Structure 1
Amino acid sequence: MKKTTTKIIAVAFMVIVILFLGCKKEKGLLASNDYEYLPQDVKETCTMSESEFKSWFASGTVTENGLVKPANSVLFPSKNNCDFYKWSEQMFLWLTSPASGGYNGKGTVLESSVFYNVSPPDSLNKRTLTQHKANEALRAVSNINQSGPNRLPILIDKNGRRFEIEAAKKDEKVKNDVNKLIQFDHISTNASGLHSFIDTKGKVIKNPKPVIDSKINPSAVVQEFKIGAKSIFLDSKGREVQSEQGQAGSHGALMGENKSLVYYITMVNDVYAYFLTGVNEGKLNGNQFPTTASARDSILAYAKTKGWAAPPDPDALAMELKTSWVEVKDLPNADTYVTIKAVIPTYDKSNPKVWVEKGQKTTTLALVGMHVVGSVAGHPEMVWATFEHEKNSPNDAYAYRDKQNNIKQVRADTGKGWLFNVNANDTTGNQNFQSMTVSGNTIQVKDTTIKTPNVRRIMAWGVASNTVPNGEDQTPADSNSEIISINNAVRKMLVGKDVRKNYLLIGATWTFGGAAPNGNVYPYGGTADSIPNGDAIGTGQLSNSTMETFVQSPSTASTDSTAISCFSCHSNNTSPSLQPKILSHVFGEIIPLSSSSKKKI
């Protein structure tokens, strides 16, 4: 009896301890061992040896927050998916390494003179490059252009649904009730506010439907029609869509639970900047991004003729980064974030629904997201990888394969403690709702009671739940397992309190054969025994919850018309091309470097 009583007391004590720890964990945005929420029994299909991981470090030894070398993109092996994922991990660790380790500066490598800030577009849609300088704050903006998969502006309707907008055209035709194309003349409005489409003969067009030209998910596209200075929007079935924001096509703004806006910085490295300038001067071949030793050497030779400093890491080839940040102020557990000094805009918030930019300030920002994009051997379309802080947003449900080869289901994340989700239990039917938009120098707030959008990462590891993701992984569970496995491997081999343990590789994508992206996501457009060149593979339906927040798929499942990849936007689907100005949204807008931009020191 005494033994039984002792066992009951012991069990009760353990339950109390577990409950206490569970409650304690929810108070902050991160517990010290929170990374263990990743499945630890996952089949280790993407990993590396300790000796290989040590070779990533400049010292040859794994050290806490130590300097990692960039991956050698010239000698990139590309034997399997894991090679792409390891490249992504090594590049992220390098970018977030201390610049004091060999880059003559403080802060991180991405703050060093290796990288250039890309400015927002000016009134002529031109951008400038500003080389980073030691101990000088970077400049960040408070919005990012979250266009849709057809590269069209976004409209959010009164129900929170997302549509892309095809702009109004001259001499627009519509389909009538028998699907005949009719030239319409104008739109009339009756006393009740109802609209009628009138043809060139003055007759009312019955059940008008727009002609949607977009090829990707046309059911989520609306056509704009003008009534004087106002616009109305019809979906593909002719139903009028009401824009709640009144700012259809404006950029989205995102706010964290710490009441900080999310700020964005786009960067390119020195190889990219030199390459771009040489292409613009007609000195370098601009048909594709550099992928070979000879292309690298041509860039170095060109830089030498300009008197520019040789890149310290030329084998990294061309890189483009998109990064997202929040203010450290009022952020719990700020020591779990990579931080920088940056200049950000400030706002007059006297009108809670319209914030007007009034100046700027220098502050400390914490990294919440990063797109790492780079050219590698055999892949001029570039590898597109994305990372997030582990406590950004809850995941939707997903599956993985365990060490016994069983497929296991992971339920959607719940609870509080997420930076971009007040309560994950209350996300159903209201996920990724856009409550703030940016237009010019103002931020318009739809609902002042919403502290943050209820952001959720829909496809947890970048693949749909109902498709074959790529030729190597035959189920979503297999693909997810590769990403989980490499995350576990890197985190276990980082030592001490290395801040980089708190970031997750969400996935990476590239095209089959390294061909020009055709806009398709495998397996759509393929056959049972072949993958078309140019299809997006790897984790082909990748998104970052801080940068593609409002343009994520509404479901973990996908169809041919709803499947969206990085290459849905970063390509010319009608005429596939590897030209940098097609793949990159900034390459063709950047003003080349001047001859005195980066002289030898």
Structure 2
Amino acid sequence: MKKSIIALKSTLLTTILVISFLSCKNEKKVDDVKKEVLTTYDEKNGSILCLSKASWFPHNQTPPPAEGKGSPFDVSSTTNCIFHQWSWQKFLWVTKPVGDLPLFLNQKEIIQVTDAMEPVTQQEGASVVLTDTIQAGSKHGVLKTNPAYYSATGKAFTVHYSIHTSMIMQESAVAFKEALASGKLPANNFQTFPVGSLELKVSWVDATAISNDKLKNYYITTAAIINKDGKTYTNTKVALLGMHVVGVVENHPEFIWATFEHNDMAPNYDWKTNSASSTSEKLLFTKGSTTGLAGITFIKDDKPVLPNKAYDLFQYGVPVTSSGYMETSQKEPENFNHIREINTSVAKNLKDVWQNYFYNGSIWIDTDGLTPEEQALKIVSLGSAIGAATPDSSARGSLNCANVTMETFTQTFQSNISDINVKNLTNCFSCHNPISFSNNTSPIYLSHIFDAYIKTSEGKSKEEIDLMKDEQQKKMSEYLRTLK
């Protein structure tokens, strides 16, 4: 029996070595690969851990993750860990310093765009332009900071957002637009964005919201923030709060939807005590406790039901109840443990300001064993149910994936916390599905900025597009409320 166990461990380790060796983008000696893979195997407990890789560090040398042919995704059966590893490595790559700025702000490989995918004209003396303060959702939520986080200022500041795309995705969008406009590509189609397509959404706030002793823990840059006249800008020091990293890899045209937050934003909701609490002031949460959904529910054109009590509804986006993990389409606690493991592993290896940010999970769908044509067909056939989390569903990863700085008020569409269950969980796919704002279907409509780009080229105004988007999100929220 002992020999069998040893043989099983040996076989498992050999298999991992082979997969890791084949997935390396650059050729390495076998000994180097062994060292890297051995860090993911816990001999004592006989289990596989999900950790960072030595090749990611130091941060200023982080390579882009392998994503296409020959990558860990170019297989018929995937593991949960490779999605978490891609998410962290991609985040490290886009934030690696290139000169005086992180890569995602250098306007070369990645450019800033509007919410209709048009390139943003950069302003002198600033590295990013900020005009958008509206959160996702039909109630147009605006997030403000906790005034007590920096008592010397005693002021609530509005959170701003920027959007960035890879040149690969930008060029593909132009080609799709031209094909749709000419009729070569019908509005209902099975086209997908290519591997390397990338969207980032980033949340920022005026650095004055944060005390000087805490500012050293945030990435700080200069932003051109639009003034009330809607035409001029004021250059302002801003702090980065959170980031969505959304990208296409081999066999996953639905994108991997990953999200990151600064570690001093807000607490997690504790489902055992039915409360969220903190003994210190957080940027979005005053010290003390709250119960129920008031802190993450927005009243249209007014304010949250309970200001300065925002929290993450589920830690790492992994749904739980007071008695433990929900029974969903995703195996737990393996997924939760892998996120926690890789966060700890990365934090130990990072030496710069980015060690103060953590990975709050990602979501994708199961496409194992499917051809590219079958993958596209599956995305379209799932429709608005692409993010369903019930045991027989296709969604994988963090099934209530959200970012407290960007989806503060859409972490659930339920009115009471007791109504939340596996049937009505909310995640990125709740709004980002293959149904366009005008009800056409295609995998390319998963991107809202692309959908808005198409509508703009058709002559729709921003106001008209926003109304179409609001109507779609309203229908989805109403539908999810019916699922008890």
Q: Does the alignment reach a TM-score above 0.5?
A: yes
Please state how far the C-alpha of 1:133 moved relative to its aligned partner.
Answer: 9.0
Residue of structure 2 in register with 1:541 after alignment: 400
SS of structure 2 residue aligned to 1:372: strand
Contact 2:129 2:225 in 1 (8 A): yes
* Deviation readout 1:341-389 (Å, 9 max, x if unpaired): 2111345xxxxxxxx8795311121111111000000000000000000
Asked whether 1:394 is paired with 2:267, we answer yes
Give structure 1 stretches of 5+ with no counterpart. Answer: 1-41, 57-61, 101-105, 121-125, 148-152, 155-249, 293-316, 348-355, 400-408, 438-443, 595-601
Asked whether 1:337 is paired with 2:218, we answer yes
Residue of structure 2 in register with 1:80 after alignment: 79
Asked whether 1:457 is paired with 2:312, we answer yes
Contact 1:522 1:537 in 2 (8 A): no
| Aligned mates of 1:46, 1:578 — CA distance in 2 | 37
Contact 2:275 2:291 in 1 (8 A): no
Q: Cα 1:91–1:135, aligned 2, differ >3 Å: closer, same or farther? A: farther
Aligned pairs for 1:539-578 within 5 A: 539-553=398-412, 555=417, 558-559=420-421, 561-572=423-434, 577-578=441-442
Give structure 2 stretches of 5+ with no counterpart. Answer: 1-44, 151-155, 368-374, 458-484
Contact 2:130 2:225 in 1 (8 A): yes
Q: Cα 1:557–1:499, aligned 2, differ >3 Å: closer, same or farther? A: farther
Asked whether 1:48 is paired with 2:51, we answer yes
* Deviation readout 1:484-506 (Å, 9 max, x if unpaired): 11101111122x3x111111100
Residue of structure 2 in register with 1:374 after alignment: 247
Root-mean-square deviation (CA), in Å?
3.6
Asked whether 1:321 is paired with 2:200, we answer yes
Q: Cα 1:338–1:435, aligned 2, differ >3 Å: closer, same or farther? A: farther
* Deviation readout 1:378-434 (Å, 9 max, x if unpaired): 0000000000001111111269xxxxxxxxx99854222211001242455632243
Aligned pairs for 1:133-144 within 5 A: 136-144=126-134
| Aligned mates of 1:416, 1:282 — CA distance in 2 | 54
Residue of structure 1 in register with 2:97 after alignment: 98
Please state how far the C-alpha of 1:145 moved relative to its aligned partner.
Answer: 3.8
| Aligned mates of 1:265, 1:539 — CA distance in 2 | 24
Asked whether 1:117 is paired with 2:109, we answer no
Residue of structure 1 in register with 2:451 after alignment: 588
| Aligned mates of 1:319, 1:90 — CA distance in 2 | 14
Residue of structure 2 in register with 1:505 after alignment: 359
Q: Cα 1:328–1:252, aligned 2, differ >3 Å: closer, same or farther? A: closer
| Aligned mates of 2:162, 2:49 — CA distance in 1 | 31
| Aligned mates of 2:429, 2:293 — CA distance in 1 | 28
Residue of structure 1 in register with 2:177 after alignment: 280
Aligned pairs for 1:392-471 within 5 A: 392-397=265-270, 412-426=276-290, 428=292, 430-434=294-298, 437=301, 452-466=307-321, 467-471=326-330
Residue of structure 1 in register with 2:340 after alignment: 484
Contact 2:207 2:237 in 1 (8 A): yes
SS of structure 2 residue aligned to 1:586: helix
| Aligned mates of 1:344, 1:133 — CA distance in 2 | 10
Q: Cα 1:558–1:128, aligned 2, differ >3 Å: closer, same or farther? A: same
Q: Relative to structure 2, which stretch is displaced further, 272-281 or 503-512? A: 272-281
* Deviation readout 1:534-576 (Å, 9 max, x if unpaired): x321112101111111111264883354222211111146999
Contact 1:458 1:556 in 2 (8 A): no
| Aligned mates of 1:434, 1:45 — CA distance in 2 | 42
More strand by share: 1
* Deviation readout 1:171-229 (Å, 9 max, x if unpaired): xxxxxxxxxxxxxxxxxxxxxxxxxxxxxxxxxxxxxxxxxxxxxxxxxxxxxxxxxxx
Residue of structure 1 in register with 2:480 after alignment: none
Please state how far the C-alpha of 1:577 moved relative to its aligned partner.
Answer: 4.9
Q: Cα 1:278–1:521, aligned 2, differ >3 Å: closer, same or farther? A: closer
Contact 2:386 2:433 in 1 (8 A): no
**Structure of larger gyration radius:** 1
Residue of structure 2 in register with 1:254 after alignment: 144
| Aligned mates of 1:252, 1:334 — CA distance in 2 | 23
| Aligned mates of 1:330, 1:568 — CA distance in 2 | 32
| Aligned mates of 1:91, 1:48 — CA distance in 2 | 14
* Deviation readout 1:111-144 (Å, 9 max, x if unpaired): 1122222224xxxxx5522376996432112423
Partner amino acid for 2:396?
I
Partner amino acid for 2:144?
L
Contact 1:327 1:363 in 2 (8 A): yes
Q: Cα 1:423–1:80, aligned 2, differ >3 Å: closer, same or farther? A: same
Residue of structure 1 in register with 2:11 after alignment: none
* Deviation readout 1:273-331 (Å, 9 max, x if unpaired): 11111222339988433446xxxxxxxxxxxxxxxxxxxxxxxx100111101111241
Contact 1:137 1:362 in 2 (8 A): no
Q: TM-score, normalised by structure 1?
A: 0.55
Contact 2:292 2:417 in 1 (8 A): no
% identity of equivalent residues: 24
| Aligned mates of 1:484, 1:43 — CA distance in 2 | 18
Contact 1:509 1:542 in 2 (8 A): yes
| Aligned mates of 1:368, 1:464 — CA distance in 2 | 23
Residue of structure 2 in register with 1:579 after alignment: 443
Residue of structure 1 in register with 2:192 after alignment: 289
Q: Cα 1:507–1:446, aligned 2, differ >3 Å: closer, same or farther? A: closer
More helix by share: 2
- 2:120 pairs with 124, 130, 140, which one? 130
Q: TM-score, normalised by structure 2?
A: 0.68
| Aligned mates of 1:411, 1:84 — CA distance in 2 | 31
